[in-house]
Every structure is written in C-alpha cells, then in structure tokens.
Amino acid sequence: MLDHIIAEARQRDYHMLSLETGSGAEFEAVLRLYRKRGFTNGEPFGDYKSTAFNQFPHLKR
C-alpha cells in the first residue's frame, strides 16, 4: 500500500509526501518501513501539533 501511495504521489508530481504517526515500541515496525522507503522525520504539517508522542515522517523528491 505504501509503495502504491508513493508511486501515485510521484505520478502526480508531488514534491513532498507527509505522514503523521506515533512513537514507542508498537510503532517501530511502521517507522522502519517508512525509513526504508526514504522518509525522514520533520516538522508538523497542516493542523497537527507536535507532542512527545507523535512524529512526522516526510518523503521529499
């Protein structure tokens, strides 16, 4: 599913794909997947507020 989303974003010529997720052991598997696909942590976006719990992985072109 993630590969499909990335491919669609590239086809639409998006310059950045941003996600919001949590922190902690239960999120490590998905965070590894995001990192493997090139996402790096960044700043909050939209109406999201940064907390000690959430993270904001971004994939830039």
In this predicted structure, what is the pLDDT of residue 48?
Answer: 97
Give the three-state DSSP class for 44.
Answer: coil
Q: Model pTM?
A: 0.90
CATH number for 7? 3.40.630.30
- Residues 19-60: tens digit of each pLDDT: 999 999 999 999 999 999 999 999 999 999 999 999 999 999
CA dist., res. 55 & res. 40, Å (int): 10
For residues 9 and 16, what is the distance between their CA atoms, to the nearest angstrom? Answer: 8
- Domain containing 6 equals 2-60
The structure tokens 């491919």 sit at 7
Tokens standing for 53? 């719990």
Number of domains present in the structure of the chain: 1
